[in-house]
Amino acid sequence: MPAIPIKDHIFTIVGGASLVGSATAEHLLAQGAAEVRVLDNFSLGGDGAIAHLRGEPRLKVIRADILRLPELLEAYRGTHGVLHLAALMTLNMDRDPWTGLDVNIRGAQNSIEAARQVGAQKFVFASSNATYGYGPGIKGDLVETTPFHSVGAPPAAILYGASKIIGEQLCRDAFRKHKLDYVVLRYSTVYGERQHYRAANALYIIETYDALKAGRAPKVFGDGSETKHFVYVGDLARANAAAFESAATDVAVNASGPEAVTTLELVRLVTEIAGGGPAPEFEGETPGKVRLTSGGAFRIANEEAAKILGWVPQIGMREGLRRLITWLEEDRRRNA
């Protein structure tokens, strides 16, 4: 059976020194995992995201590179489940598309192959709502069968989404040829404590907050009606665990937050949590800046995740933002 109980089992989180990786490691440990291996090459920073887990004897930090298959084979040995998070996102893809494609495609294939060779019981692949694309075609409910839209979107965003589509198909291929059980989770934009600065949409939250604290007006593109759909990192940690624990295999499901939000609603929420500030300023395009546009009102439907994995998001946008901003202020005080 493809279901793996968390308790007393070993899990490897690839790209684990990250926002989602640190939250998932913490959750798996709390659920009684025998060992959680955090694998990362630390090319995007140090181990600050997992600093709060230092001293936990069941946590093993492994420095390895997903482009080097022998390193993965050694790191995965004895693991029951592999969570593959490692990827370069749209902003990195804009700066260096060749490296981004190498990491997101060849790295994913190496990870899948290593999991297969060591006999891992299940592979969970972190995909993205970028598999639906961007632009005018993105509207209404985005469900797991929604096609990919690319017209008018920034090349880096489309390259990122396409690389995730390929990663999903590599999982399908390994299942069909080698019976490697897997679940694909298509994350919407992730935010929360230990927020990094590599995601264009999540970065907008921090940019808005920083503007307000400095007494500047936050920026809103267009009329503020553009939709974003976020998911709180703690909810995603539970989704990752649910993917391992479920008997589901050979499936891809959305992992999104409880509700979508417009950019104007988001700015108003951040302003409320920040204790007030200047009214937002509405602006047009900024030349040279990668901005991920939705094209219209949409919702990333998560009913399939509830049906297949028994997972539903619990943290709404106001509470998630409050937690992020509380952490951000505490982190800045610690590092002042």
Task: For tokens 């800046």, name the residue.
Answer: 289
State the Cα–Cα distance between residues 322 and 334, nearest whole angstrom: 18
How many CB atoms sit inside 10 A of residue 172's CB?
15
State the Cα–Cα distance between residues 182 and 171, nearest whole angstrom: 7
Q: Residue 295: its pLDDT value, please?
A: 54
CB 256 within 8 A of CB 194: no
Helices (H), the chain: 19-30, 69-76, 90-95, 97-101, 107-118, 155-178, 200-213, 233-245, 263-273, 303-309, 317-334
Show the tokens assigned to 156.
Answer: 């880096």
Q: Residue 29: its pLDDT value, please?
A: 98
Task: Kindly list the structural domains of the chain, giving each domain's residue range(s) and its CATH number in brackets, ordered by start.
Answer: 10-194+231-257+299-315 (3.40.50.720)
CB 283 within 8 A of CB 123: no
pTM for this entry = 0.93
| Among the listed residues 19, 50, 49, the one whose alpha carbon sits nearest the alpha carbon of residue 202 | 19
Sign of the C-alpha dihedral computed for residues 327, 331, 334 and 336 taken in this order = negative
Q: Residue 43: its pLDDT value, please?
A: 84
Which residues, at least 6 apart from 173, have a Cβ–Cβ distance to it below 8 Å?
none
- Long-range pairs, 330-334, Cβ under 8 A, ≥24: none
How many CB atoms sit inside 10 A of residue 160's CB?
27
For 135-159, give the DSSP string.
STT--EEE-TTPPPB-TTS-HHHHH
Q: Residue 199: its pLDDT value, please?
A: 60
pLDDT per residue of the chain (336 residues) written in tens, 0 to 9:
689 999 999 999 999 999 999 999 999 999 999 999 999 998 877 788 898 898 999 999 999 999 999 999 999 999 999 999 999 988 889 999 999 999 999 999 999 999 999 999 999 999 999 999 987 778 889 999 999 999 888 899 999 999 999 999 999 999 999 999 999 999 999 999 988 766 666 778 989 999 999 999 999 888 888 888 999 999 999 999 999 999 999 999 999 999 999 989 999 999 999 999 999 998 875 555 544 455 567 899 999 999 999 999 999 999 999 999 999 899 888 887
Q: Residue 283: its pLDDT value, please?
A: 81
First and final CA of the chain: distance in angstroms? 50
State the Cα–Cα distance between residues 61 and 58, nearest whole angstrom: 10
| Among the listed residues 162, 154, 142, 150, the one whose alpha carbon sits nearest the alpha carbon of residue 305 | 142
| Among the listed residues 231, 223, 220, 301, the one whose alpha carbon sits nearest the alpha carbon of residue 266 | 220
